[in-house]
Amino acid sequence: MPPAAHAPAAHASDHATSHRSFADVAHWQQVFDDPGRDSWQRPRELVAALELRPGMRVADLGAGTGYFSRYLSAAVGPEGTVFAVDTEPNLVVHLRARAEREQTENVVPILASADEPRLPADSTDVVLIVDTYHHIDDRRGYVRRLQRVLRKRGRVAVVDWQKQALPVGPPPDHKLAREQVVDEMTAAGYRLVAEPAILPYQYVLIFQVR
């Protein structure tokens, strides 16, 4: 079916800076769950900055191996829900096994499409996108569609790499400048509402729909 006549065209600059396979779960466990990651990712501080409350629903978009799952699970409590979303089937299987192993019963793994998170409409209070935004094609279109899953006053938190040489993270040509992310999210109908300076190598940008 052709796109609707009024749909904005995709911008060339919106294409992913990196397309990678994440099928090798054992390899990505070594990368994503490296104990040394805690020193610079600061998962407790980052989750605290999201101001989650018991009973909320939060989506970890690009959940990978589930590095953030237990922190998010604890923040929303047993009455809340963590949607652990990924496009790689092997990782989704791993996310389910991890949730069972860690007894985080409120973690719900979801197999997404590349252009659609497959979250229910009006289902989510906060969408967390860590080290994943730069992997998305047609980012403005994607985050515009993401609005349908947000509850009233829902927020989207983008955490990605500062565009400079860093001791961790991807090469510079895979990174997006903070200003580009703000421009794209603004063009897609969001406004920047918070920018906690809590991480040494990444920016944290929190948006709401205008």
Query: Which two three-digit tokens encode residue 205?
Result: 């940008």
Percent of the chain, pLDDT > 70? 90
Q: Which of 2-16, 83-97, 174-188 has the lowest mean pLDDT?
A: 2-16
Q: Which of 179, 150, 159, 167 is nearest to 47 (CA)?
A: 159
Residues near 206 by Cβ (< 8 Å), separated by ≥ 6? 49, 50, 155, 156, 157, 158, 192, 193, 194, 195, 196
Q: Which of 90, 83, 205, 92 is nearest to 151 (CA)?
A: 83
β-strand pairing of 57-61 with 81-86: parallel
Residues near 10 by Cβ (< 8 Å), separated by ≥ 6? 137, 138, 140, 141
Q: Where does the chain show beta strands of DSSP type E?
A: 57-61, 81-86, 107-111, 124-130, 150-161, 190-194, 202-209
In this prediction, residue 65 carries a pLDDT of 97
In which residue are the tokens 């009973």 written? 55
Q: Identify the three-state secondary structure at position 82.
A: strand
Is the pLDDT confidence value at 101 over 50?
A: yes
Segment 17-55, tens digit of pLDDT? 666 667 788 897 998 999 999 999 999 999 999 999 999
In this prediction, residue 4 carries a pLDDT of 38
Q: For residues 127 and 9, which has the higher predicted lDDT (pLDDT)? A: 127
Q: Identify the three-state secondary structure at position 78.
A: coil
CATH numbers and ranges of domains, the chain: 41-209 (3.40.50.150)
Average pLDDT, the chain: 91
Is the pLDDT confidence value at 63 over 90?
A: yes
Rounded to the nearest 10 degrees, what angle do helices 89-102 and 69-76 cross at? 50
In angstroms, rounded to a whole number, what is the distance separating the alpha carbons of residues 99 and 94?
A: 9
Q: Rounded mean pLDDT of 136-152?
A: 96
In which residue are the tokens 């938190």 written? 157
Is the pLDDT confidence value at 97 over 80?
A: yes
In this prediction, residue 58 carries a pLDDT of 98
Q: Rounded mean pLDDT of 142-171?
A: 96
Task: Kindly give the residue spans of alpha helices, DSSP state H, lying in 103-177.
Answer: 139-146
